[in-house]
Amino acid sequence: MPHTAARVLRAATAAILLAAALPACGTDTPTSVGGSAPATTPPATTPPATQTPRVVAPKTQRPADPPGSARPDPCDGVARAGSFGPTRQEPHTVDALYLVRVERKACTDVVVFRVNGTARFGGHAEYVASARAAGSGDPIELRGDAVLEIVIFAPDFANAGGGHQPGREPWRVGQEVAQVPSGTSALREVAYAGPNDGSETVFVIGLRERLPFTIAWRSGDGFSELSVSVAHRAPGGK
């Protein structure tokens, strides 16, 4: 009996020592050497998606004009190209002058004198004090405050030797020979002033005021023309 109790006591002591040597029940986490907590790997994170910013091209604008500057006025250039003084262009022709018409352009009013044939011809234009008939000097009533006289170096259809348009009634001195369109700035009236020695034809042009003018010749299909272009205003005017 005493031996049995001693064996039981030794067995109990061995069980207690074994239990102390084993880790605590239910513990899954291993311990690292030295007793510190094991290193843990942080969970992987996905960086937020980056969006490329939309680039908007700036609107292009015309650079502002410097202070005190102004864009060139094309009509001012036309006015400066004209003349206030007598203007002459040669030569003469024997072909008949048969048509006068008026055109309105952006910066000028134009009187066109057309001759039957493509021969080159010219004329003489200048400002005069008053409208008068060729030869007699009789006054001609004319609308406008300035008178530009133009001598065409060609006979009119009634005085030409070629007999162009023989059934047509001749122009009368003082007769308005071209219709001036409404809205014309410079022109007021174009009147016939008569023949000059039978080889030239004289007209008087009534204008709003004395304005710069030019004369030019051109040819077309079976005809040629001399034009008198009168600027709508003087240089630097409005």
- DSSP codes, 156-203: BTTT-TT--STTSPPPPTT-B-SPPPTT-SSEEEEEEEEEETTTEEEE
Mean pLDDT of 200-223: 97
In a domain, 47, yes or no: no
How many domains does one find in the chain? Answer: 1
Q: What is Dmax (Cα atoms) for the chain?
A: 182
Among 115, 137, 136, CA closest to 128 = 137
Q: How confident is the model at residue 110, as a pLDDT?
A: 98
In a domain, 132, yes or no: yes
* CB-CB contact of 190 with 125 (8 Å): no
Q: Residue 30: which pLDDT band, with cuts at 50, 70 and 90?
A: very low
* d(C-alpha 157, C-alpha 174), whole Å: 17
pLDDT tens by residue, 116-153: 999 999 999 999 999 999 999 999 999 999 999 999 99
* CB-CB contact of 161 with 216 (8 Å): no
Q: What is the CATH number of the domain that holds 176?
A: 2.60.40.3500
Residues 6+ apart with CB under 8 A from 185: 104, 109, 208, 232, 233
Mean pLDDT of 223-235: 97
Is the peptide bond preceding residue 91 cis, with omega within 30 degrees of 0?
yes
Q: Say whether pLDDT at 93 is over 50.
A: yes
Radius of gyration from C-alpha coordinates of the chain? 54
Mean pLDDT of the chain: 83
Q: 108: domain range?
A: 86-231
In a domain, 134, yes or no: yes
In a domain, 105, yes or no: yes
In a domain, 185, yes or no: yes
Q: Say whether pLDDT at 215 is over 80.
A: yes
Q: Which of 8-12, 93-97, 103-107, 199-203 has the lowest mean pLDDT?
A: 8-12
Among 215, 218, 212, CA closest to 203 = 215
In a domain, 204, yes or no: yes
In a domain, 71, yes or no: no
Work out whether strand 108-116 and strand 123-128 pair parallel, antiparallel, or are unpaired: unpaired
Mean pLDDT of 105-110: 96
DSSP 63-116: PPPPTT-----HHHHHHHHSBSS-EEE-----SPEEEEEEEE-SSEEEEEEEEE
Q: Residue 62: which pLDDT band, with cuts at 50, 70 and 90?
A: low
* d(C-alpha 200, C-alpha 153), whole Å: 5
In a domain, 166, yes or no: yes
What's this model's pTM, rounded to 2 decimal places? 0.70
* d(C-alpha 200, C-alpha 159), whole Å: 9
Percent of the chain with pLDDT over 90: 61
Mean pLDDT of 43-69: 59
